[in-house]
Amino acid sequence: MEQVFKFRLQKILDMKISLEEQSKIEFRKAVSDIEDSKLKIKQLEEKFSRYSCFNGKEDTVDRKLKLKYLDTLSRCIDNENSELDSKKMILEEKREMLKNKQIERKIVETLKDKQRQQFIQEQNMIEQKNNDEFALYAYVRKNLKGGDT
């Protein structure tokens, strides 16, 4: 006669968990994109510092080529920095979305826990009531047998 707890909103909870997992994946991807951009900027800056040194042995054509290359590297660094800024904004959006998804999941999980506790209390009360009835029947039977003999 023992009943099993069944949460009526389990499908919604499963959906909330799934959405949270998807949001975690998107957040990790945004973090990875930022790390990739930082690495690319670092590599570009290393190239810039490596080629920014001029020695007196270079002719005019080599200097001009080097300056154009440094200018291109500088523009690439600027572009990558602006891209990094936009990726940081995206990361903050993903962080906020993840936080909201976690809150939504926790709300439904809290409701589930409360309903489970209420169910357990009700089951305990039913069991206690049945035990009390059995004890009463046993007491009545014992007293009736004792009175008959």
Instruction: Over range 35-51, report the average pLDDT.
Output: 95
pLDDT by residue (tens digit) across 110-134? 999 999 999 999 999 999 999 999 9
What percent of the chain is modeled with pLDDT above 90? 76
How is the chain split into domains, by residue range? Answer: 10-107
Summarize pLDDT for 55-92 with one digit per residue, the tens. 778 888 888 999 999 999 999 999 999 999 999 999 99
What pLDDT score does 54 carry?
A: 77
Q: Is the pLDDT of residue 38 over 80?
A: yes
Assess contact for 34 and 89: CB atoms under 8 A. no
DSSP state of 4: P
Give the integer Cα–Cα distance in Å for 87 and 31. 9
Q: Tokens at residue 57, please?
A: 């042995």
19 φ, ψ (degrees, to nearest 5):
-65, -35
pTM of the predicted protein model: 0.76
